[in-house]
Structure 1
Amino acid sequence: MAETDAFMQFLLRMGDNTLILGHRVSEWCGHAPVLEEDIALANTALDLIGQTQMWLGLAAEVQGEGRTADDLAFRRDVWDFRNVLLVEMPNGDFGQTLMRQFLFDAWHSILLNRLQSSTDTRVAAIAEKALKEVTYHLERSGDTVIGLGDGTEESHQRMQAALDYLWPYVGEMFASDAVDVAMVDTGIAPDPASLHSAYDQLTGRILSEATLTVPDTSFAHKGGRDGRMHTEHLGHLLTQMQWLPRAYPDAVW
């Protein structure tokens, strides 16, 4: 795989993860259980969309075809997206949303910390800025998982159900392919598999404090990172997210 093509795929993976999760979280705006959570979730979504602009903006620059971050966000079809399946999972209840956020935040924070040492200064700069936001995201989602997991009988059951449902989507974040090999060879990004140990330690500590049991399975749904397979949920999400710029493609703000 050509280095430029691999770099483009890496940037799309980073940007698509934050774009799709940002949109998912934004669906809570006006619907969260209390006003404070409504504001917090909206701010998290804005952070993720801001990170998307940086990742997809760089992807468009690397591609060199005159496209913009908006073009990559709104004018690609579902099979062109490179996000992990975890972030396209439905919100479910509030507990499932925060469990999904925590499982992603833990991985995201570890990866961004490593990307600060990237040989590509643009990637390192984005990682440094994004990590400041993601550190807060992780603190908040982790505290919420603990509070609900070690809360009432009902909240504990809901959080355990959320963990059981989402855990099979975690393994994809540590899968490696030719894109990852190229990124490791150039020093742009680490091998995803090398993040697994730190992730297990971090999530294990939080989930233990939350009195939750990690499912005893190594099975992992895959296919999102290379576009081979997305769930039906992503198609429905893109229909909602992309309809305005596709309906009025020449509109400017």
Structure 2
Amino acid sequence: MTAGSAPSPEAGSAAYVLAVADDAMVYAQRLGEWLTNAPQIEEDMALANVSLDLLGQARALYARVGELDGSGRGEDDYAMFRDERQWRNVHLVEQERGDFAREMARMLWFASYQHELYAAQLASSDPVVAGVAGKAAKEVRYHLDHARHWVLRLGDGTDESHRRMQAALEWAAPYVDELFDDHAAAVTAVEAGLVARLPSELREAAQGRVEAVVSEATLTMPDPPTWRSRGGRDGIHSRPMGYLLAELQHISRSHPGATW
């Protein structure tokens, strides 16, 4: 590819699949931090299971990226041996673990986004992407229902839980737009038939799901934020990302080539 030329359909498709995988991988790491920290033992297990679902999605997609980009790299290469600027996830998933209400606000938005994302990938021209989407779509329905349950419970609970849940929605708001940005890799992937819809075309349905839950929980949607996150798809990340990767990659980078 010459300087300044558009990426090939294969390279664009690989970049798109990498972004989807990175979202799942980074959020899996964040959710894993709740083990022993959740408000009850059952929730420890529930969030661990959501984390494992996302990890499975990332693993399958990383293997496909290595085929699409021609590098032959495997899941460990992508997850454990890339530097921060090489990751293509949105800022929402990399933010530090806050209180439980924040996690449920984040999960509600991310699961609503993924619900529409994987629905759009079911008819993918790539059999691996379509296959991952078929399995992931079932998992994400559970993630969405789990977040909905807690947002309702907290929003329509005590005065304190209502206050915290409303504050959590306000916290998440600046990170939402980035989920639905039509980044260059997504445009190329749509043109190549890898996926049926652009991220921006997923927003109406995803936001409708969130708004329905928020209303049922006696909460209100936040006003448009005065700032918004951007740059994650281009490898520009927020402060927590470097610390997350240091913890995620420490063992593999300390013992390269080790097997267990």
* Letter matched to residue 232 of structure 2: G
CA distance in structure 2 between the partners assigned to 1:68 and 1:179 by the alignment:
20
Q: Which residue in the other structure is 2:253 paired with?
A: 246
Cα shift readout 1:130-185 (whole Å, capped 9, x = no counterpart): 11111111111111111111111111111111110111100011111321221111
CA distance in structure 1 between the partners assigned to 2:56 and 2:135 by the alignment:
10
* Letter matched to residue 138 of structure 2: K
Deviation of 1:66 (Å) = 2.9
> Is 2:57 aligned against 1:51?
yes
Report the TM-score, using the length of structure 2 for normalisation: 0.94
Q: Which residue in the other structure is 1:164 paired with?
A: 170
Deviation of 1:30 (Å) = 1.4
Question: Which ranges of structure 1 fall in alignment gaps of 5 or more residues?
Answer: none
CA distance in structure 2 between the partners assigned to 1:11 and 1:209 by the alignment:
34
CA distance in structure 2 between the partners assigned to 1:68 and 1:120 by the alignment:
18
Q: Could you tell which deviates more after superposition, 102-111 or 173-182?
A: 173-182
CA distance in structure 2 between the partners assigned to 1:6 and 1:125 by the alignment:
19
> Is 2:252 aligned against 1:222?
no
Deviation of 1:220 (Å) = 2.6
Deviation of 1:58 (Å) = 0.8
> Is 2:219 aligned against 1:212?
yes
Of 160, 178, 194, the match for 1:154:
160
CA distance in structure 1 between the partners assigned to 2:52 and 2:168 by the alignment:
24
CA distance in structure 2 between the partners assigned to 1:19 and 1:178 by the alignment:
21
* Letter matched to residue 201 of structure 1: G
* Letter matched to residue 10 of structure 1: Y
Could you list the structure 1 runs, at least 4 aligned residues long, displaced by more than 4 angstroms after superposition: none
> Is 2:223 aligned against 1:195?
no
Question: Which ranges of structure 2 fall in alignment gaps of 5 or more residues?
Answer: 1-6
CA distance in structure 1 between the partners assigned to 2:182 and 2:50 by the alignment:
28
Identical positions, percent = 40
Mapping 1:111-130, distance limit 5 Å:
111-130=117-136
> Is 2:74 aligned against 1:68?
yes
| Partner SS, residue 89 of structure 2 | coil
Mapping 1:57-96, distance limit 5 Å:
57-96=63-102
* Letter matched to residue 84 of structure 1: V
